[in-house]
Structure 1
């Protein structure tokens, strides 16, 4: 008896990044006092009017097969919202509903890439990108966004990575884990390269509603990108709906048709009651997202302020999202050792950011998805742990 080598082929360092989170979750479930900052799962309940829409649909018998591409009302609501944000008309045939942004990435990979292709990714990147893109057989080409630049795009470096085999560019904006939001000049540089070399661009925008300052600009809004840009969106972060598994692709109709063919075999349509809840959420998108954004802004400021004064670590203040990168190189520990010791000795779980890519080596990622009292407690534990490390180093060199 044997297994297909497929899963082993797509496994990578990113897949193993969750070991510390699973250990922390298990410890917390056993009653240990662990503060879990290693996952981006909002601590809010889904707003009640969204849940009510699903419950009412179920009571009305909404438990049957649905349209493969998603219910027209939901697709039309999403198209209407993006018609405003992209400043061009979109219709339902530009939208397909998928079970979460992760599946949207997987679908994009299988629809656009094949063995022999090269796909450029901005590094660091979300931990599952490696496995998701390798599933197509394509080769990943990492374009580093270095810590010294604040993890910002280096357009000449991106241009230099393009070869005759390059097929697409995949990236998240805002970025997870860095919280960086690309500006107009950086986005235009990507668009110019995509047009010049006839490349697809897939941009994961799941955090676009959680930009703290300024107006978010989508790559898909730039001239020449309508036919070659695929936008991935989700309600997980903006509406506290991680467990609902609902997301979408925005693309040219031909791409949507290819994705629908794939979904026919993968899912055969999402649950109708989930799509009814999603429709209610999208129709009240900004109303809900605004409250989430302000809450996360306060939490970001709390964490950045609490940790910035701690000698031995440096905080990378995010422009968006629900994560902070902390540079721990000054502690004398590698980021993986720091994360495990912080968990075992202080009861706080964070992720080794090196799992997101080599440029984040020496950084840890912590989420601010807990209430402010608990976050403040976590920060005090981190500061005390770093002070302990500093004392240990001083004794070692004395």
Structure 2
């Protein structure tokens, strides 16, 4: 019997999907932990808080009651109504529950949006730096992400002027995130309004990833859904992973214009059947007052961590040109800390991991514009860990001077 492997051709689109360097760094860290090293993780963007107790209790009740069957492809009516009520309470917006599609995480929401709107040759504008999976969702449907270099002057975001300048014959829309991964920065309300109006005038779509929207620290959060001029071209993505601390439950949602409900439901039926039934029943409890009080207290703790880590990094010699106003990331310029033997952010990240056991992420994943000069630091870990990490980094850099 011949057990030799058989080579067969893979889909050509795989050539347009780059490896996720964050996960490679995580594997290196795991290998060091297996050797007995103590590693402080400031790489992957995952809250160190778990689901709130009322949410866990709701999941247990759903299992005990046997509520385990498929739901509608677009989600439990009770959950969609709860999300609609949350928009009303927090943002003062009337969002009809039928416009809300519950998905298997924000990733599935982005997948459905791109499957609906992107085709071969479609060009989608997004800032460089951006979360890498966003451009890969576009590539998966044979479109092309046009990465527009964006720096501190634009808060690492697209501006309306940039959208106007780079919109071409093949452009069909923009994909934004506010607040953003990797930078933790938001687009100002007025600027976002101008972008949405410009894209609408060109007959394009605007997808806004708002998964960190309620982790906004310095101002009252707002949703792009408040921009009524977005009309039929505005799609908003959100998630239970970040503010609601439900990463492994894989649950998110998107809000779509009326005319996209049926096409997206058709795709959801075929691609996913439905999001996790248990997760959906549990998530209804996220909007109970006792749950929201927990999430707000945790949000305050994230802000406390941000207010510690940003000045600490600056003291170490990193340049943080824009103080993050949301999410739980700092995007720091490490140029002044490079040397003859550590030539870029990737080499610096690996050296820091190997020598002092702190995981940070180079800009390599987030686009070429900032790849070699910036690192992303997640403060989604305890204050004790942050303080210990700063001391380790101080030791690391002191040994080089």
When normalised by structure 2's length, the TM-score is: 0.92
Match of 2:224 among 209, 219, 223: 219
- Is the 2:173–2:204 contact (alpha carbons within 8 Å) kept by the matching residues of 1? yes
**3-state SS, counterpart of residue 70 of structure 1:** coil
Correspondences of 1:232-311 after superposition (within 5 Å) = 232-284=237-289, 286-311=292-317
**3-state SS, counterpart of residue 231 of structure 1:** strand
Match of 1:116 among 96, 111, 121: 121
Counterparts of 1:77 and 1:353, CA distance in 2 = 37
Count of paired positions: 388
C-alpha offsets along residues 130-189 of structure 1, whole Å, 9 cap, x if unaligned?
Answer: 211101111111122114554243432221111122111101111111111111221122
**Matched residue, 1:396:** none
**Matched residue, 1:394:** none
**Matched residue, 1:202:** 207
**Matched residue, 2:3:** none
Go from structure 1 to structure 2 and tell me whether the alpha carbon gap of 1:368 and 1:183 turns closer, same or farther (over 3 Å shift).
same
Correspondences of 1:349-360 after superposition (within 5 Å) = 349-360=359-370
The answer on 1:92 being equivalent to 2:97 is yes
Q: How far is 1:85 from its partner?
A: 5.0
Match of 2:399 among 351, 371, 388: 388
Counterparts of 1:72 and 1:152, CA distance in 2 = 35
Go from structure 1 to structure 2 and tell me whether the alpha carbon gap of 1:55 and 1:3 turns closer, same or farther (over 3 Å shift).
farther
The answer on 1:378 being equivalent to 2:389 is yes
Counterparts of 2:254 and 2:165, CA distance in 1 = 29
Match of 2:332 among 326, 331, 338: 326
Q: How far is 1:84 from its partner?
A: 4.7
Deviates more, 1:72-81 or 1:250-259: 250-259
Counterparts of 2:283 and 2:39, CA distance in 1 = 33
**Matched residue, 2:106:** 101
Q: How far is 1:276 from its partner?
A: 0.8
Q: How far is 1:247 from its partner?
A: 0.3
When normalised by structure 1's length, the TM-score is: 0.92
Counterparts of 2:300 and 2:64, CA distance in 1 = 34
Go from structure 1 to structure 2 and tell me whether the alpha carbon gap of 1:31 and 1:165 turns closer, same or farther (over 3 Å shift).
same
Deviates more, 1:23-32 or 1:246-255: 23-32
**Matched residue, 1:73:** 78
**Matched residue, 2:4:** none
Correspondences of 1:12-51 after superposition (within 5 Å) = 12=18, 15-51=20-56
- Is the 1:226–1:251 contact (alpha carbons within 8 Å) kept by the matching residues of 2? no
Counterparts of 2:117 and 2:294, CA distance in 1 = 33
Q: How far is 1:322 from its partner?
A: 0.7
Counterparts of 2:35 and 2:267, CA distance in 1 = 41
- Is the 1:307–1:383 contact (alpha carbons within 8 Å) kept by the matching residues of 2? no
Go from structure 1 to structure 2 and tell me whether the alpha carbon gap of 1:136 and 1:152 turns closer, same or farther (over 3 Å shift).
closer
**Matched residue, 1:337:** 347
- Is the 1:124–1:177 contact (alpha carbons within 8 Å) kept by the matching residues of 2? yes
Any unmatched runs of 5+ in structure 1? 392-398
**3-state SS, counterpart of residue 380 of structure 2:** coil
Q: How far is 1:25 from its partner?
A: 2.7
**Matched residue, 1:395:** none
Counterparts of 1:29 and 1:256, CA distance in 2 = 48
**3-state SS, counterpart of residue 132 of structure 2:** coil
Correspondences of 1:131-142 after superposition (within 5 Å) = 131-142=136-147
C-alpha offsets along residues 309-358 of structure 1, whole Å, 9 cap, x if unaligned?
Answer: 123x2234211011111211001231111101110111111111232123
Counterparts of 1:85 and 1:159, CA distance in 2 = 32
Counterparts of 2:68 and 2:9, CA distance in 1 = 35
- Is the 2:132–2:366 contact (alpha carbons within 8 Å) kept by the matching residues of 1? yes
